[in-house]
Each structure stands twice: as C-alpha cells, then as structure tokens.
C-alpha cells in the first residue's frame, strides 16, 4: 500500500514540476529565441524502480531496498528543452494553444493522482479505525 502512495507521490512531484515548466513556456511565448521545455521520465530510473520494487522482492532489513530519496526523485524525471523546432522567424517555438492543452492535461492528471492518494489514505484510516466511522 505504501509503495503505491510513494509512486503516487512521485507522480504528484512530476505533475507539479511540469505545471511550472509549462507555465514558464506560456510566460515566454513572446520572447525572441525562447525554446519551450517539458518534463520527461528518465527511462533508466524506471528500470531501476521496477527492479527495486518488483513483486518478488521484500524488504527484510532496514538497509535493504531503500525508499525514494530526494536525489532518486530528481533522477526519476528531468526537464528537457526542445531545440529542434521553430514556430516563428524569431526562433521561438512556443505554441500557445498547445501549451494550454498540455496545462489542462497536466491539471487533470494531478487531480486524478490527488484522488487516488485520498482514496488510499481513506482506506488506511478505515483499517486503523477497524471499519468504524
């Protein structure tokens, strides 16, 4: 259960960072030469996470299979700049409509993760309270 909450927490961190990056893109849509950025998953981290949290592994000692630390969370995703495209003659590649759609998509993703975390924590509260409300 806590593994799921950890993964949801990681997703929330990514969504929060992505909101900041996309907002920055929109804020600079008139800046000559500005190149848009986005947040992407680090594929090597995903493989490492799958190995560390595989279904056949179990944590039997406090020093085994450590949880996500802030440095590992930073390795989970990164901000990349799109230098391959240009939308205008001044070198800027920000498409306002696309950025707005991506912001909305990210907002819906964030809200769905918040809902999932709330449901999991509600289940935990129910178990702790022995099903009483």
Q: Which 3 state secondary structure label does DSSP give 41?
A: strand
The pTM assigned to this predicted structure is: 0.71
Q: Is residue 133 part of a domain?
A: no
Give the range of the structural domain holding residue 113, as residue numbers without chain letter. 2-128
CA-atom Rg of the chain in angstroms: 19
pLDDT digits 0-9 by tens, 63-108: 554 544 444 455 688 999 999 888 889 999 999 999 999 999 999 9
Contact between 76 and 49 under an 8 Å Cβ cutoff? The reply is yes
Q: Is residue 30 part of a domain?
A: yes
pLDDT digits 0-9 by tens, 19-73: 999 999 999 999 999 999 999 988 765 555 455 444 544 556 565 545 444 444 5
What secondary structure does DSSP assign to 1-26, as a single string?
-HHHHHHHHHHHHHHHHHHHHHHHHH
Q: Is residue 6 part of a domain?
A: yes
Domain tally, the chain: 1
Q: Give pLDDT, residue 59.
A: 56
Q: Is residue 9 part of a domain?
A: yes
């Amino acid at each position: 259960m806590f593994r799921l909450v950890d993964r949801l927490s990681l997703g929330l961190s990514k969504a929060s960072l992505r909101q900041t990056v996309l907002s920055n893109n929109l804020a600079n849509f008139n800046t000559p030469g500005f190149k848009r950025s986005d947040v992407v998953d680090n594929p090597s981290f995903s493989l490492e996470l799958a190995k560390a949290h595989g279904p056949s592994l179990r944590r039997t000692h406090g020093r085994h299979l450590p949880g996500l630390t802030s440095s590992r969370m930073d390795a989970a995703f990164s901000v990349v700049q799109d230098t391959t495209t240009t939308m205008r003659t001044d070198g800027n590649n920000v498409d306002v409509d696309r950025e707005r759609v991506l912001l909305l998509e990210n907002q819906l993703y964030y809200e769905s993760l918040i809902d999932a975390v709330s449901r999991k924590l509600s289940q935990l509260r129910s178990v702790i309270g022995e099903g009483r409300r």
